Chain A
Amino acid sequence: MSVNKENVAKIASLARIKMSDDELERMVPELNQILGWVDQLSEVDCSNVEPMTAVIPNELRLRADEVNADPKTGGDRRDDVLANAPAAEHGFFGVPKVIE
């Protein structure tokens, strides 16, 4: 399978990365080279193969059902969470207006 400029523009839009016409033009052959190369995977008959879900068998754990069991991942850290925000006000993240 291969992609054209419109496809790449659509992918870039899905990925929320703004790209100029020049960048899109440049990406088309690069992506096609990579996609052409990974196409060889279709040679392999995988009809009876399960897709990998975990490399090392490991059961997902539940944490203890208590508030702030691990303070590092618990609550009450609003100021820490906001500390690196480009815009934060009144204890919230600030974003451009989204409602007209």
Chain B
Amino acid sequence: MSNLTDLGVAAIRDGVANGDFSAREVAEAFNANVAAAADLNAFIVTTPERALEAADGVDADRAAGKELGSMAGVPIGMKDLFATKGVQTTAASHILEGFTPQYESTVSSNLWAAGAGMLGKLNLDQFAMGSSNETSYFGNVTSPWRRPDGSNTPMSPGGSSGGSSTAVSARLAPAATGTDTGGSIRQPAAFTGITGVKPTYGRCSRWGVVAFASSLDQAGPMAHDVRDCAIMLGAMAGFDPKDSTSLDLPVPDWEAALNSDLKGKKVGIPKEYRMEGTDPEILQSWDNGIAWLKDAGAEIVEISLPHTKYALPAYYIIAPAEASSNLARYDGVRYGLRDLPDGAGLQDMYAETRAAGFGDEVKRRVLIGTYVLSAGFYDAYYNQAQKIRTLVAQDFEKAWEHCDVILAPTTPSASFGLGEKDDDPLGMYLNDVFAVPASLAGLPAMSVPCGVTSEGLPLGLQIVGKAFDEQGVMNAGLAIEERAGFTAKPEKWW
């Protein structure tokens, strides 16, 4: 028997169902990897007992001849943005430190119902605001990847789902949940050589997910390969009356319909993504992707998404505006931190609590959001950005007249060293330049590993699809995965 922690979701599910190993053995193996990886700081809280409890339930069900769920026996990492009943949920912020939800998010409930168990709550950028996992109150997450130059510079696992990407890449978990507001699943997946899917807006319920920008937030799976993501997304998704934007649609069996034969499919290559100054290695990886999809039978067509350039600045108005509104709830009254100096009144308590409880990046975004929504500036900023958002969505609508999916790089660069970009908030935002347009349009998109740079760091390719066509996205992803032959792994140093 090879190492259980080398296995992914499908292999664990099948192995448990066949009796090749028990769910408890799997949970114990991953619990041990989690316990030995404190240096990566991927987890804020570990819950080995929860993983074992779920595993024992699956083993008992199997022994009793009961039907097993689609994630039966698979222990996963849960991004600490999902409310988990009885387990601290912080969004990696000080203001929610110690918050213990009395309820379970819909997505995590769905996963437990499918037989998954929880290894722990994963670190992230504070309130999911960041692209490098350097804004967490609980410290940076370090990628398991290193440049092979012997410098041992700690590298960024991407963000905001950096604990998730690190946990999967370092084999602390076979899969993890992520959330993606403007690239927070896809960019960390690309940085760590794993696969991540952001489904159509509304596929996964937002109920019980700490809100960042509600019109953009979407949960999705992060795992080793396309099949594992398809299985896990199937377990996460589904209509939820508790989320007013939840899609009332059946959940397709994405795994069963996976098919990498792309004959008759058209793949669009957006010319505006070929931005000046793009790293030649990124362009090379994109060209490789084009060749692979052609080889899979697809026809390649050039398309135009003319408002691409404006998507990122529009995002950095819309997302902070929504965040400033969503984060108004942290007031020191109902939950979380309260900072009440002697003799202070209610207003002072709000301001002191929020000053002490929010990190710099969160404050920056709340201020930007407050400003663009304030009287006199609303039309010039917020309304203009929402109009640009309409134009970005219309660009995609027009593109779908010519193609079925779009292929682009996931990120403008490979991972960078922790600290190398943190004096430049705007430079950090540019990480999401290729990811944000699909977010603004609510479209399904994924990142799939496609190779490594000359520095030995992973790169990802992004596929964007039509609304509700996660299948088309994952099929194209599978075609790339089969041809990229991505087998690079981080060498264990932690």
Q: Given A17-B354, A86-B333, A96-B349, A58–B245 Cβ distance below 8 Å?
A: yes
Q: Are A73 and B242 in contact (CB under 8 A)?
A: yes
Q: Which of A14, A61, A80 touches B370 (beta carbons < 8 Å)? A: A14
Select the residue from A34, A50, A60, A87 with max chain B CB neighbours within 10 A.
Answer: A34
Q: How far is the CA of A30 from the CA of B380 in the complex (A)?
A: 20
Q: Are A40 and B310 in contact (CB under 8 A)?
A: yes
Q: Which residues of A contact B241 (CB under 8 A)?
A: 61, 63, 70
Q: Are A80 and B102 in contact (CB under 8 A)?
A: yes
Kindly provide the distance from the CB of B416 to the nearest chain A CB, expressed in whole angstroms.
Answer: 19
Q: Which of A1, A14, A60 touches B380 (beta carbons < 8 Å)? A: A1
Q: Are B387 and A84 in contact (CB under 8 A)?
A: no
Kindly provide the distance from the CB of A18 to the nearest chain B CB, expressed in whole angstroms.
Answer: 4
Q: Are B333 and A44 in contact (CB under 8 A)?
A: no
Does B123 belong to the interface (CB within 8 Å)? no
Q: How far is the CA of A9 from the CA of B349 in the complex (A)?
A: 17
Q: Is the interface of A mostly helix, strand, loop or mixed?
A: loop
Complex interface bits, A28-61 against B, C-beta within 8 A gives 1, otherwise 0: 0011011101101110101001111111101011
Q: How far is the CA of A84 from the CA of B346 in the complex (A)?
A: 19
Q: Are B338 and A17 in contact (CB under 8 A)?
A: no
Complex interface bits, B434-465 against A, C-beta within 8 A gives 1, otherwise 0: 00000011100000000000000000000000
Q: How far is the CA of A96 from the CA of B384 in the complex (A)?
A: 40
Q: Are A41 and B367 in contact (CB under 8 A)?
A: no
Q: Are A80 and B103 in contact (CB under 8 A)?
A: yes
Does A67 belong to the interface (CB within 8 Å)? no
Which partner residue on chain B sits nearest A33 by CB separation? B426
Q: Given A55-B393, A80-B103, A37–B364 Cβ distance below 8 Å?
A: no
Q: Are B102 and A16 in contact (CB under 8 A)?
A: no
Kindly provide the distance from the CB of A34 to the nearest chain B CB, expressed in whole angstroms.
Answer: 6
Complex interface bits, A5-38 against B, C-beta within 8 A gives 1, otherwise 0: 0011001111111110000000100110111011
Q: Given A33-B425, A44-B307, A46-B388, A58–B99 Cβ distance below 8 Å?
A: no
Q: Are B310 and A44 in contact (CB under 8 A)?
A: yes
Does B251 belong to the interface (CB within 8 Å)? no
Q: Is the interface of B mostly helix, strand, loop or mixed?
A: helix
Q: Which residues of A contact B102 (CB under 8 A)?
A: 77, 80-81, 83-84
Q: Which residues of A contact B370 (CB under 8 A)?
A: 11, 14-15
Does A90 belong to the interface (CB within 8 Å)? no
Q: Which residues of B contact A83 (CB under 8 A)?
A: 100, 102
Q: How far is the CA of A37 from the CA of B334 in the complex (A)?
A: 37
Q: Which of B200, B334, B348, B387 touches A46 (beta carbons < 8 Å)? A: B387
Q: Given A16-B350, A34-B316, A37-B313, A86–B332 Cβ distance below 8 Å?
A: yes
Q: How far is the CA of A71 from the CA of B479 in the complex (A)?
A: 44
Q: Are A42 and B384 in contact (CB under 8 A)?
A: yes
Q: Are A72 and B380 in contact (CB under 8 A)?
A: no
Q: Are A41 and B310 in contact (CB under 8 A)?
A: yes
Q: Are B380 and A85 in contact (CB under 8 A)?
A: no
Kindly provide the distance from the CB of B24 to the nearest chain A CB, expressed in whole angstroms.
Answer: 30
Which partner residue on chain B sits nearest A83 by CB separation? B102
Complex interface bits, B346-361 against A, C-beta within 8 A gives 1, otherwise 0: 1111111011001000
Q: Which residues of B contact A40 (CB under 8 A)?
A: 309-310, 313
Select the residue from A14, A70, A93 with max chain B CB neighbours within 10 A.
Answer: A14
Kindly provide the distance from the CB of A87 to the nearest chain B CB, expressed in whole angstroms.
Answer: 7
Q: Given A14-B370, A15-B366, A96-B345, A55–B391 Cβ distance below 8 Å?
A: no
Q: How far is the CA of A91 from the CA of B340 in the complex (A)?
A: 21
Pairs across A and B, CB under 8 Å, 29 listed: A7-B371, A12-B367, A15-B354, A16-B347, A17-B351, A30-B425, A31-B364, A34-B316, A34-B364, A34-B368, A38-B317, A38-B385, A40-B310, A41-B313, A41-B314, A41-B385, A41-B388, A42-B384, A44-B384, A44-B391, A46-B387, A51-B390, A52-B390, A55-B393, A56-B202, A72-B242, A83-B100, A96-B344, A96-B349
Known: A11-B374, A15-B354, A17-B366. 18 other contacts (CB 8 A): A1-B380, A15-B366, A16-B350, A17-B351, A17-B358, A18-B351, A30-B364, A31-B371, A34-B425, A41-B385, A41-B388, A55-B442, A56-B201, A63-B241, A72-B242, A80-B102, A84-B100, A93-B334
